[in-house]
Amino acid sequence: MLRLPATQDKDNVFAALDRISVAERAKDTNKPPYKPELAAKVKDLSDRQSFEDPAFCCKPAGVPRMGPPAQIVQLPDKLVFLYATNLFRIVPIDGRPHRTGIDTSYMGDSVGRWDGDTLVVDVNNLNDDTWLGPDGYFHTEALHVIERFTRTGDEITYQATVEDPNVPTRPWVMNSRTLRLGARPLEEGPPCVEKDADHLVTNEHH
């Protein structure tokens, strides 16, 4: 008969898996090229991720951290990106420019165009209440993101280039992701409810 481990043992397993994840990310040489004077801030945010990461407070991961959508619906003049987190984005593809005079947001303002078989989405007007990744990779409201979606057969490759004149020394091209297309319907998940913040007592990384 399978015996479930004690709660403390399960906690130890999760902590061990967390350390492995952190170690694997540390090996990745493709990190945002932060200005030298910002390195200490990035490290401090990373060390206190459990308390500082906006995603831990049920806030949207934002562009580009949220990655590619779960489904894309194409209409004559626009695309609709649907995410498994019950969020969506509308991406005009009729040549219109970015909107002006609007508030910043987690999803920003997107406009798209076709470059051959690649969909290129230009995103600006993003707020600064998100991170680029889980290791303290903050940004400012000057963030500008170029997303590229390239379909090859039944696979789509997603890549994002990040620009922010206040943070990195140069544009940063994130590691690409390749997804296999499928017919699985998008399922509505439960709302995110933050219940852990009041119980956190350590800076255990995630």
Low-confidence ranges of the chain (pLDDT < 50): 2, 4, 14, 17
What is the pTM (predicted TM-score) of this model?
0.81
Return the pLDDT at 6. Answer: 55
Q: What own/partner pairs with CB < 8 Å and gap ≥ 24 does 107-114 have?
A: 107/60, 107/62, 107/63, 108/62, 108/63, 108/143, 108/145, 110/63, 112/79
Return the pLDDT at 46. Answer: 95
Which domains are assigned to the chain?
Answer: 29-97+104-183 (2.40.128)
Return the pLDDT at 99. Answer: 97
Return the pLDDT at 14. Answer: 46
